[in-house]
A and B are shown apart, each in its own frame.
Chain A
């Protein structure tokens, strides 16, 4: 009690100090603010409503996409039958938009054989809005959740199995175009299967679902969601595995190996031959009459 009394006495000494009113006011505001934040009803409008998202998406679509895909995403055909400036987006789903816009492929700079990866133009919020708008045009695959393509939740043993299974699926279905290392490969008429080295799992999953550009569509009946996840797990695993054998030389196979054999191997050894031939075996550099 004595201790309490003493503390109370000390406090009361400042009770009428010049700053006391201000301190009380600040403490009161802090308390009421915290209480309000803690107990106020949940915010209904931190996420824009779906209608708002679709409306925003439509605005963005009209400004950036409609030139090729049409004002309602119906696609614009060219004069030549069977060809189009931009395809119809009805039914491509949110996943297609998230892939194409999220990797910078869309909007395209110019019509070409294939839309290349480039810096992303829109923020994720805008991409979501565009995806919501395109998804509203017709039913299609949705943007996958991280749990769909991650093996985080599995046990160590299950993960290993998933990775080796994914490797075999990758070699059966993907390497014919993307190469054994995921380094990419050539497609007809200037097209190409892109390099997969730094592609996020989410975009790989979306590409499998939607089959962008020349890529075939691996529907869930074709590759189950677990098999897609395993492929992604395998690709992540070869990224994380150290290159046991040294520099990978681009991971392109025998062509780059041949290039190195000629340039480093033969080039280096010819330089060595020139060096040896220009030196005598004597340690002193006296003139040798040959």
Chain B
């Protein structure tokens, strides 16, 4: 009954009309909607989902960049297929680009030039498609970092994390196959490198290469094969996985930042319709717009400058697109003499390690991250509230270390461009990278973890002693001090809305008869890892500590009474500014 008393009755119509209220005639859109609903029955399904609530934060929209750039990829890609001819048949170019007229090339190269110079809007579409691909993979990675740094990969979202990792892998493969299709000098060099990677595989290498190329490289089969992989196979899997990724997102509900009123059981935000439909729809046009501007203004992959692929030619600055840059970098810095000759066969560690071993290993590690963390913590609870990166110092530091490894390998992939643009020696860059690739991640791990921990301390300071007001006062005896004021209740709630970390401990491990407890060895490892992960962290203050600090602050406030007004620096002298009506001026 108490709830009924809270109903606001001020807006209830007060009328003493004599006719009963009737529903007004439905509008045109309304009648159309009922017509459709009576036949399709979508109303019930939509009713729930159109009102689905999503929390609001800019970092939750990073995955959307990937989604919308994928849509741009589909649209521009369909346009390109209308003219592209994925054939390695030999033709003589007779199109509009002067410098290549009369040159022999494959039909795929000739049709790429045709799209670029003789199809209206073709060059714009080609460039939009390529820029969208670059942004698609980049946004997936940014999204992945956001998810990991905020702890959104924890239960129940581990499988969605794995799907995301697969999307990243497939996006990369899709990018590589697309990059290879024009059969220009740059992409041909890339395909030649891929052929080399296949052949570096022990025992089955040459068989795999002959299978892909339909004989010895380059053959006449690889472009049509890559084409069907690029336009049918991988996009199909990508679409299915994107659908699964988003269905799981709806099923799990979106994570949210902690704050007053936000719990593990609810989602606080705006409904899909009208708010998110408008925001997401608007964002699609922004993504489309940015890609269109880039496609219109910035050259990407000028195949006409590379000319057709010819195994006798190569160009400086032959790099893969950015997402393949880091294995290329590892390949560039590995000592070239790392080879073993076994029974007359050469095992090329110098190719296998950077291309065939490290990248798959990194991908598996990436996929396992949530499971490794879950095993160490033993945490089986569901998590819908996000963590600030500083509140998981070891996890944050692990990802920063991985990023550092990636970044250094990536930079090594551009070593020649770095050398000419920064006036450095390419050899010295290589020597530096060989050391930094091992040392850098360790340093980054250590710095990040300490940084996070000091930020945690800072949060505790704020909770216990308030924030720094920036007001410096000087006491009559000449002492300077900065005034602290307590933070708001909302801010304090948000800062304390996190769990205390628990370090696992193993006790004894043997029962009375001296028999070791089952799994005790793995339990010991777990305990060690748990202590590695959590023992340095700063925990949030206890209720008792907060209480004490509160008393202390009150005491301070009493001492400084009169300072609860904005301080103008004249509290202790006689030159205090005053309003005429407040205090009368002293009469001398």
Q: Which residues of A contact B (CB under 8 A)?
A: 113, 160-161, 163-164, 167-168, 171-172, 175-181, 183-190, 192-193, 234, 237-238, 241, 243-249, 251-258, 260-262, 264-266, 268-270, 272-274, 276-278, 280-281, 290
A164-B100, A168-B103, A276-B282 in contact; A262/B138 too (CB < 8 A)?
yes
Interfacial chain A residues near B420, Cβ < 8 Å: 184-186, 192
Taking a contact as CB atoms under 8 Å apart, the answer to whether B300 and A281 are in contact is no
Closest beta carbon of chain B to A177's beta carbon, Å: 6
Closest to B268 in A: A290
Chain B 254-285 interface 0/1 with A at a Cβ cutoff of 8 Å (1 = within): 00000000000000111000110011001100
Interface of chain A: mostly helix, strand, loop or mixed: helix
Whole-angstrom distance between the alpha carbons of A180 and B62 in the complex?
35
| Extra contacts besides A160-B98, A167-B100, A276-B286 (9): CB < 8 Å | A160-B102, A164-B100, A167-B103, A249-B299, A253-B417, A254-B325, A262-B322, A266-B142, A290-B56
Taking a contact as CB atoms under 8 Å apart, the answer to whether A260 and B414 are in contact is no
Chain B, 43-67, CB within 8 A of any chain A CB: 56-62, 64-65
Closest beta carbon of chain B to A223's beta carbon, Å: 15
Taking a contact as CB atoms under 8 Å apart, the answer to whether B270 and A244 are in contact is no
State whether the Cβ of B315 lies closer than 8 Å to any Cβ in chain A.
yes
A161-B102, A255-B414, A273-B283 in contact; A184/B313 too (CB < 8 A)?
no
Taking a contact as CB atoms under 8 Å apart, the answer to whether A177 and B287 are in contact is no
Range of interface residues on B (Cβ < 8 Å): 35 or more
Closest beta carbon of chain B to A36's beta carbon, Å: 54
Residue in B59, B294, B317 whose beta carbon sits within 8 Å of that of A253 in the complex: B317
Closest beta carbon of chain A to B428's beta carbon, Å: 8
Interfacial chain B residues near A189, Cβ < 8 Å: 425-427
Taking a contact as CB atoms under 8 Å apart, the answer to whether A186 and B290 are in contact is no
A168-B103, A257-B134, A270-B58 in contact; A243/B299 too (CB < 8 A)?
yes
Interfacial chain B residues near A192, Cβ < 8 Å: 419-420
Closest beta carbon of chain A to B63's beta carbon, Å: 10
Interface of chain B: mostly helix, strand, loop or mixed: helix
Whole-angstrom distance between the alpha carbons of A164 and B318 in the complex?
22
Whole-angstrom distance between the alpha carbons of A132 and B253 in the complex?
83
Closest to B299 in A: A245
Closest beta carbon of chain A to B257's beta carbon, Å: 12
Q: Kindly list the 3 A-B residue pairs having the minimum CB-CB distance in the complex, ordered from nearest.
A: A185-B316, A258-B322, A253-B317
Closest beta carbon of chain A to B297's beta carbon, Å: 4
Q: B304-312, B351-359, B511-519, B524-532: which lies at the A interface?
A: B304-312
Taking a contact as CB atoms under 8 Å apart, the answer to whether B99 and A237 are in contact is yes
A249-B299, A257-B134 in contact; A266/B65 too (CB < 8 A)?
yes
State whether the Cβ of B135 lies closer than 8 Å to any Cβ in chain A.
yes
Closest beta carbon of chain B to A164's beta carbon, Å: 5
Whole-angstrom distance between the alpha carbons of A169 and B117 in the complex?
23
Interfacial chain B residues near A163, Cβ < 8 Å: 98-99
Taking a contact as CB atoms under 8 Å apart, the answer to whether B316 and A179 are in contact is yes
Whole-angstrom distance between the alpha carbons of A183 and B59 in the complex?
39
Taking a contact as CB atoms under 8 Å apart, the answer to whether B138 and A281 are in contact is no
Taking a contact as CB atoms under 8 Å apart, the answer to whether B283 and A272 are in contact is yes
Query: Count the A-B residue pairs with Cβ separation under 8 angstroms: how many?
Result: 219
Whole-angstrom distance between the alpha carbons of A184 and B417 in the complex?
9
Taking a contact as CB atoms under 8 Å apart, the answer to whether B419 and A180 are in contact is no
Interfacial chain B residues near A269, Cβ < 8 Å: 65, 135, 139, 286-287, 290
Select the residue from A189, A255, A268 with max chain B CB neighbours within 10 A. A255
State whether the Cβ of B123 lies closer than 8 Å to any Cβ in chain A.
yes
Whole-angstrom distance between the alpha carbons of A255 and B414 in the complex?
6
A178-B316, A252-B417, A255-B417 in contact; A281/B102 too (CB < 8 A)?
no
Taking a contact as CB atoms under 8 Å apart, the answer to whether A276 and B99 are in contact is no
- List 8 A-B pairs, Cβ < 8 Å: A113-B425, A164-B101, A180-B185, A255-B414, A261-B294, A265-B135, A276-B279, A278-B58
Residue in B58, B60, B314, B322 whose beta carbon sits within 8 Å of that of A261 in the complex: B322
A161-B102, A176-B314, A256-B417 in contact; A244/B123 too (CB < 8 A)?
yes
Closest to B306 in A: A180
Chain B 387-423 interface 0/1 with A at a Cβ cutoff of 8 Å (1 = within): 0000000000000000000000000011111011001
Whole-angstrom distance between the alpha carbons of A185 and B287 in the complex?
34
Taking a contact as CB atoms under 8 Å apart, the answer to whether B56 and A277 are in contact is yes
Interfacial chain A residues near B60, Cβ < 8 Å: 277
Interfacial chain B residues near A113, Cβ < 8 Å: 425
Taking a contact as CB atoms under 8 Å apart, the answer to whether B319 and A253 are in contact is yes
Taking a contact as CB atoms under 8 Å apart, the answer to whether A257 and B301 are in contact is yes
Whole-angstrom distance between the alpha carbons of A193 and B426 in the complex?
13
Interfacial chain A residues near B127, Cβ < 8 Å: 245-246
Select the residue from B291, B305, B414, B423 with max chain A CB neighbours within 10 A. B305
Closest beta carbon of chain B to A272's beta carbon, Å: 5
Interfacial chain B residues near A243, Cβ < 8 Å: 299
Closest to B103 in A: A164
Interfacial chain A residues near B294, Cβ < 8 Å: 260-261, 264-265
Interfacial chain B residues near A276, Cβ < 8 Å: 58, 61, 279, 282-283, 286
Whole-angstrom distance between the alpha carbons of A186 and B131 in the complex?
26
Taking a contact as CB atoms under 8 Å apart, the answer to whether B316 and A193 are in contact is yes
Interfacial chain A residues near B86, Cβ < 8 Å: none
Whole-angstrom distance between the alpha carbons of A278 and B58 in the complex?
8
State whether the Cβ of B424 lies closer than 8 Å to any Cβ in chain A.
yes
Interfacial chain B residues near A161, Cβ < 8 Å: 102
Interfacial chain A residues near B202, Cβ < 8 Å: none
State whether the Cβ of B302 lies closer than 8 Å to any Cβ in chain A.
yes
Whole-angstrom distance between the alpha carbons of A264 and B427 in the complex?
31
State whether the Cβ of B250 lies closer than 8 Å to any Cβ in chain A.
no
State whether the Cβ of B373 lies closer than 8 Å to any Cβ in chain A.
no
Taking a contact as CB atoms under 8 Å apart, the answer to whether A281 and B58 are in contact is no
Closest beta carbon of chain A to B48's beta carbon, Å: 20
Residue in A188, A245, A257, A281 whose beta carbon sits within 8 Å of that of B279 in the complex: A281
Taking a contact as CB atoms under 8 Å apart, the answer to whether A265 and B138 are in contact is yes
Whole-angstrom distance between the alpha carbons of A89 and B69 in the complex?
60
Taking a contact as CB atoms under 8 Å apart, the answer to whether B117 and A244 are in contact is yes
A171-B307, A188-B426, A255-B417 in contact; A270/B142 too (CB < 8 A)?
yes
Closest to B61 in A: A273
Closest to B296 in A: A246
State whether the Cβ of B298 lies closer than 8 Å to any Cβ in chain A.
yes
Interfacial chain B residues near A177, Cβ < 8 Å: 316
Closest beta carbon of chain B to A138's beta carbon, Å: 34
A181-B305, A270-B58, A273-B58 in contact; A186/B419 too (CB < 8 A)?
yes
Residue in B58, B287, B300, B415 whose beta carbon sits within 8 Å of that of A257 in the complex: B300
State whether the Cβ of B321 lies closer than 8 Å to any Cβ in chain A.
yes
